[in-house]
Amino acid sequence: MANLSRFLVRRLATFIPTLIGVTFMTFLIATVVPGNPAKLWAGGEKASPEVVEQIIREYRLDRPLWEQYFFFMYKLLTNTMISPVTSNYVWDMIMERLPVTIQLTLLAFIFIIILGIPLGIISALKRDTIIDAVIRIMALVGLSVPIFWLAYLLIFFFFTKYRIITLAGTPEPPYSITGIPLIDSIIMLDFGTLVDVLKRYTIPAFTLAYPSIGFVARLVRNSFLDAMSGDYVEFMDARGLPPSWKYRHILRNSFIPVITVLGLIFGALLTGAPITETIFGLPGIGKFLLDSINNYDYLGLMGGVLFVGIIYLVVNLIVDITYAIIDPRVRY
């Protein structure tokens, strides 16, 4: 595995240029293209020139682009950047929203795993039967249905008709271990808070997970079928191996692509889900990015993009390493 460390070093070396590229692009698009945001940040059309001046000075908007960019990035990374639109420390804002997104991600991920994978396996085992057809059609529906439509449907059923879920607030226990109420309440066996958290996050998580459930089910199905039709399966039969051992081999083989996709899905979930968060009123990262764009909060946007970039890079790296660990054919 000495190769692995070299591989890691090479990958980490590409982190920085990638993050710079991504944030610089965002910076250009956000600040240069639409024009000077100073007046907007100062209050709009009523803004007095002195206030606008002050903003220009404070945020170095009169300096060359390179200087502006590095100034922003430096302040972002040291968490000293205060957004002129929200008056908050940008990085703090992102971190505050992280628990919401994490809870959504965890629950959605659980849905994907407990629904997507078994459905995919059933679909594969019952290939070409009605069950298989139903599952595949539902998967297609899941990928095609607009999220907001599904969200409204679920809200109508679970909130309007049967007051099972809640649409407001973010349940938080008075104590904090990891900062994530879902996990904390389980650790502390605080079932009251746990129930509140589930009531709040379950349906949004399901909405978020739905298209991915379909996707993963299909992936698992195809992967499983692929693995099942591998010649080594026949050889395993020919060797007289018991069926459970056989399925162990098949599962392990079929899971390689699935695990990497799951990793990527986890990464995508972690970067937020703007529509779901908006409809269910959950202040997560996705909503933050959307709000930053709508409010012309370029600094918040840059911070958000930086965060998303880091998540993606790290998740991709982990997925690649995991792949290398699982599949001996892929080694660096």
Partner 1 sequence: MECDPIVEVKDLRVYFYTYAGVVKAIDGVSFKICRGETYCLVGETGCGKSVTSRAITRLIYPPGRIVSGEIYYYPEPGKRVNIMQLSESELRRLRGEEISYIFQDPSAALDPLYVLGYQVGETMLAHKRVKSVKEGMRRAVEVLRTVLMPDPEKRASSYPHELSGGMKQRGVIGISLSNNPKLLIADEPTTALDVTIQAQLMDLLLDLKRERGLTLLLITHNLGLVAEYCDRVAVMYAGNIVEEAPVEELFEKPLHPYTQALIRAVPNPTRRIEKLEHIPGTVPNLVKPPPGCRFHPRCPKAFDRCRVEKPPLKEYSDHHKAACWLYEE
Partner 2 sequence: MALENRRLLVGAAIVIIVLIAAVFFLAAREEAPVEETTTPAETGTPVEEETTPEKTETPTETEEETETTPAEETTPEMEGPEALVIETSQAFVVVGPEGASVPDFDNKGKPIIAVKFSVDEENTKPLEESVAFVDTSPSFYRNEYADALILAGRKIADPFVREQIYEAVYKLSNQELPLWWLGQYKVVFVYWSWVEGLYYHPTLDIRFDLITEDSDAPVVDLGFGGYQNGPNTWVDVTFGWPSTFDPAANYETFGWHIWHNIGQTLVTFWKDDTKNLIPELAVAWASNEDSTEWYFVIRGGVVAYDNWNDKTYEISALDILFTIWRINRLGLDPSWMITEFVDVNNSMVLSEEEFDQLLSGGGIYASYGDFSGEVKSLQELLQVFGYDGETAGVVKIKLYYPYAPILSIFADPFTSVIPMKYVFDNVEELQGKYEEALEASDYGKNPAAWEAYIGTGENDPSHILLHQKPIATGPYYIKEYKEQSYIVLEYNPYYWNKALWQEMFGEDKPQHERAIFLINDDAVARIETLKSGQADTGAIPLDRLEDVSGYQMPGTDYTIIVEEKGLSPTIVFIVPNALKEPFNNVLVRQALMYAIPFDQIQTSVYAGYIERLYGVLPAGFPGHNDDIVVKYTFDLNKARQLISESGINPSDYTIKIWYNKGNTQREKIANMLKTIWGNLGFNVVVEPLEWPTLLDRTEKGDFDVWIVGWAPDYIDPDNYAGPLMYGGTKFKVLETQQFDSVDSVKDFFKG
Residues that bind partner 2 (CB under 8 A): 21, 25, 28-29, 32-37, 39-40, 42-51, 54-55, 57-58, 82, 84-89, 93, 96-97, 152, 155-156, 159-160, 163, 165-172, 196, 199-200, 278-283, 287-288, 291, 294, 296
Complex with partner 2: residue 37 or 263, whichever CB lies closer: 37
Alpha carbon separation from 132 to 129, 218, 241 (Å, rounded): 5, 10, 27
Least distance (Å) from partner 2 to the CB of residue 271?
Answer: 17
Q: d(Cα 217, Cα 112) in Å, to the nearest integer?
A: 9
Q: Give the closest residue to 250 by CA, choosing from 293, 288, 284, 221.
A: 221
Does 4 contact partner 1 by CB under 8 A?
Answer: no
List 46, 161, 163, 329, residue binding partner 1 (CB under 8 A): 329
Complex with partner 1: residue 170 or 253, whichever CB lies closer: 253
Complex with partner 2: residue 123 or 292, whichever CB lies closer: 292
Secondary structure element (H or E) that encloses residue 286, with its range: helix 285-294
Counting every residue written for the chain, the total comes to: 332
Q: Give the closest residue to 172 by CA, choosing from 199, 202, 200, 193.
A: 193
Return the one option of partner 1, partner 2, none that residue 326 interacts with (CB less than 5 to 8 A, by type).
Answer: partner 1
Return the one option of partner 1, partner 2, none that residue 190 interacts with (CB less than 5 to 8 A, by type).
Answer: none
Return the one option of partner 1, partner 2, none that residue 205 interacts with (CB less than 5 to 8 A, by type).
Answer: none
Does 44 contact partner 1 by CB under 8 A?
Answer: no
Q: Give the closest residue to 277 by CA, choosing from 182, 207, 189.
A: 207
Return the one option of partner 2, partner 1, none that residue 221 interacts with (CB less than 5 to 8 A, by type).
Answer: none
Return the one option of partner 1, partner 2, none that residue 76 interacts with (CB less than 5 to 8 A, by type).
Answer: none
Q: Which residues from 221-280 bind partner 1, rule CB under 8 A?
A: 230-232, 234-242, 245, 249, 252-253, 256
Are 202 and 218 contacting, i.e. CB atoms less than 8 angstroms apart?
A: no
Does 1 contact partner 1 by CB under 8 A?
Answer: no
CB atoms within 10 A of CB 193: 19
Q: What is the DSSP string of 87-141?
A: -SBHHHHHHHHHHHHHHHHHHHHHHIIIIIHHHHHHHHHTTTSHHHHHHHHHHHH
Does 3 contact partner 1 by CB under 8 A?
Answer: no
Secondary structure element (H or E) that encloses residue 218, with its range: helix 191-228
Complex with partner 2: residue 32 or 318, whichever CB lies closer: 32
Least distance (Å) from partner 1 to the CB of residue 229?
Answer: 9
Least distance (Å) from partner 2 to the CB of residue 217?
Answer: 29
Return the one option of partner 2, partner 1, none that residue 169 interacts with (CB less than 5 to 8 A, by type).
Answer: partner 2
Q: d(Cα 252, Cα 261) in Å, to the nearest integer?
A: 15
Question: Exposed (0-12), middle (13-18) or buried (19+): which is 50, by Cβ within 10 Å?
Answer: exposed
Q: How far is CA 122 from the centre of its chain?
A: 27
Complex with partner 1: residue 146 or 243, whichever CB lies closer: 243
Q: d(Cα 76, Cα 237) in Å, to the nearest integer?
A: 60
Between 191-228 and 147-155, two packed helices, what is the crossing angle to 10 degrees? 140
Complex with partner 1: residue 62 or 237, whichever CB lies closer: 237
Does 130 contact partner 1 by CB under 8 A?
Answer: no
Q: Which residues bind partner 1 (CB under 8 A)?
A: 230-232, 234-242, 245, 249, 252-253, 256, 326-329
